[in-house]
Chain A
Amino acid sequence: MVHQYKLNGCNIVLDTCSGSVHVVDDVAYDIIALYKERGGDGIVSAMLEKYAGRPDVTEADLQECLADVRALEEAGKLYTPDTFENMAFDFKARSNVVKALCLHVAHTCNLNCSYCFASQGKYHGPDAGHGGRALMPFEVGKRALDFLMESSGSRVNLEVDFFGGEPLMNWQVVKDLVAYARSQEAARGKKFRFTLTTNGVLIDDDVIDFVNREMHNVVLSLDGRKEIHDRLRVDLAGRGSYDRIVPRFQELVRRRGGRGYYMRGTFTHANPDFTRDVLHMADLGFDQLSMEPVVCAPGDPAALTEEDLPVVLEQYELLAKEMLKREREGRGFTFYHYMLDLKNGPCIYKRISGCGSGTEYMAVTPWGDLYPCHQFVGEEAYKLGDIWQGVTNTALRDEFKLCNAYARPECAGCWARLYCSGGCAANAYHASGSIRGIYEYGCQLFRKRIECAIMMQAVRASWEEL
């Protein structure tokens, strides 16, 4: 499958199944579009007619371009057939290795953000005796780390994300769990990569020093402009948090010395013009940025609407263009979705299987229950087991194993399926009631982001030629 599009002065041809990207002129763009439906002679005559006023478009030149297209096809870089689908159905037989856990160390929060998918850390309240506000005891966290090491087979790199609620509300346990994991690395031949997501309210010198020493990445929640951030990210008294957290984030990042972090915002119906919020964060001095569309029930006042969609799609383009402009001016910044590595990106297995939720990645509640990921916590039907007995709901795990880029008939005709791996199971579940459903709104945003990211690579490649 070939996807062609024009953006920011670039004509781009993406060969879905080889991953090849071609930047072409108008003539080649038209030839590639016609190549499979017309013979060579038909294409030449059509092009001579269309470009009649162009002295550079001659029959010999068109034949040369056709030969180039044919050579790319023979080299497996254009019109590459999809030979991967059968691989996807072998995935059920793959191992039950677990390599990443999301530790819900705090099912409570010191903010009261109305759009929070985790219901301010409570995760939908009590269910089956496990629910409501709680902090993870050290012994539960320690057992979770042991479960991860025992279940990881020959995998060396293990990942643990401290999540909530607000994980800094259980800070001593976070520090103790990191110390325990580090004490086990050499003996068990494992390497832990820790990350932490925080709203920033409890950041102090101790947190900054520890996070900057031990955390591979830290995610700092900021929605952008003060009036946007303070509209929804308020404390229990209803006061905005912007003025309290921004100086703390700036200090943490200043002392982080270039290590990975993300300023991570959520945009909603209140700010579909989210590029202004991304640029606001850049103007505050942050240079590793992320801004995600809110995921909530369609009737929620924060939910993005169909009317917002064209605005949001245009915003992604505006952001990409502004980023390139600032890059040229020597004040560039990164945006999570535009950090596409065409040369060293993921292999086909990763692209088919996606995030590994419910199989190699799971979430652990403060009580030690296992769920496919943080977004399923509190959905009793999606409980996989617990950290003492392991996965007992093996049928559910098998369902997630098969939840991949080839699981949904709607994806068969989509050029982006090997970039999104079929999309997020939780988003699909919340949008359609099935983890094999489709969240079409999210698909449209995803495709636009990939188009922008590839366009940026094409522009950078043109800079290198100059």
Chain B
Amino acid sequence: MERIKTLETRDLTKSVETGCGECQTQQCENAG
């Protein structure tokens, strides 16, 4: 039976690649 449900989240380790600095001093236009 399914005992674990994983919510959809931004992968922080992948975000190392995707730092533009345009976000507000949060939504990120590059998150997807």
Hey, which chain B residues are within 8 Å of A87, CB to CB?
16
State A351–B9 Cα separation when bound (angstroms): 15
State A233–B1 Cα separation when bound (angstroms): 56
Q: Mark B6-27, 1 if CB is under 8 A from A, else 0.
A: 1111111101101101111111
CB of A122, distance to nearest CB on chain B (Å): 25
- The segment from A14-22, A138-146, A173-181 that touches chain B is A14-22
- The segment from A127-135, A339-347, A386-394 that touches chain B is A339-347
CB of A86, distance to nearest CB on chain B (Å): 11
CB of A339, distance to nearest CB on chain B (Å): 9
Known: A159-B24, A348-B16, A360-B21. A18 touches B3 (CB 8 A): no
Interface residues on B, range: 20 to 34
CB of A426, distance to nearest CB on chain B (Å): 14
Q: Are B24 and A61 in contact (CB under 8 A)?
A: no
Q: Are A76 and B11 in contact (CB under 8 A)?
A: yes
Hey, which chain B residues are within 8 Å of A99, CB to CB?
21, 25
Number of A-B contacts (CB under 8 A): 117
Hey, which chain B residues are within 8 Å of A80, CB to CB?
13
Interface residues of A in 3-39 (CB under 8 A from B): 17-25, 27-28
CB of A129, distance to nearest CB on chain B (Å): 29
Task: Verify if A97 is at the interface (C-beta below 8 Å from B).
Answer: yes
Interface residues of A in 188-242 (CB under 8 A from B): 193
Task: Verify if A461 is at the interface (C-beta below 8 Å from B).
Answer: yes
Which of chain A's residues has its CB closest to B30's CB? Answer: A347
State A80–B12 Cα separation when bound (angstroms): 10
State A173–B26 Cα separation when bound (angstroms): 30
Q: Are A343 and B1 in contact (CB under 8 A)?
A: no
Interface size on A, residues (CB 8 A): 51
- The segment from A64-72, A291-299, A309-317, A439-447 that touches chain B is A64-72
Hey, which chain A residues are within 8 Å of B31, CB to CB?
343-345, 347
Which of chain A's residues has its CB closest to B9's CB? Answer: A342
- Contact among B21, B25, B27 for A344, CB-based, below 8 A: B27
Hey, which chain A residues are within 8 Å of B10, CB to CB?
19, 342-345, 347
Hey, which chain B residues are within 8 Å of A49, CB to CB?
none
Task: Verify if A103 is at the interface (C-beta below 8 Å from B).
Answer: no
Q: Are B28 and A347 in contact (CB under 8 A)?
A: yes
CB of B19, distance to nearest CB on chain A (Å): 4
Known: A24-B3, A27-B3. A343 touches B25 (CB 8 A): no
Task: Verify if A320 is at the interface (C-beta below 8 Å from B).
Answer: no
Q: Are B7 and A345 in contact (CB under 8 A)?
A: no
State A342–B28 Cα separation when bound (angstroms): 11
Task: Verify if A324 is at the interface (C-beta below 8 Å from B).
Answer: no
Q: Mark A425-466, 1 if CB is under 8 A from B, else 0.
A: 000000000000000000000000000000001100100000
Hey, which chain A residues are within 8 Å of B24, CB to CB?
157, 159, 193
Hey, which chain A residues are within 8 Å of B18, CB to CB?
347
Q: Are A345 and B28 in contact (CB under 8 A)?
A: yes
Q: Taking beta carbons and an 8 Å cutoff, which residues of A are in contact with B?
A: 17-25, 27-28, 56, 61, 64-65, 68-69, 72, 76-77, 80, 83-84, 87, 97, 99-100, 155-157, 159, 193, 341-351, 355-356, 360-361, 418, 457-458, 461
The 8 closest A-B pairs by CB, nearest first: A347-B15, A28-B3, A344-B31, A100-B25, A349-B19, A346-B26, A19-B12, A342-B9
Q: Taking beta carbons and an 8 Å cutoff, which residues of B are in contact with A?
A: 1, 3-13, 15-16, 18-19, 21-28, 30-32
Q: What are 19 sample pairs from A and B whose C-beta atoms fall under 8 A apart?
A: A18-B13, A19-B10, A20-B6, A20-B7, A23-B4, A23-B5, A23-B7, A61-B1, A64-B1, A68-B3, A76-B11, A87-B16, A157-B22, A342-B8, A344-B27, A345-B26, A347-B16, A349-B19, A350-B26
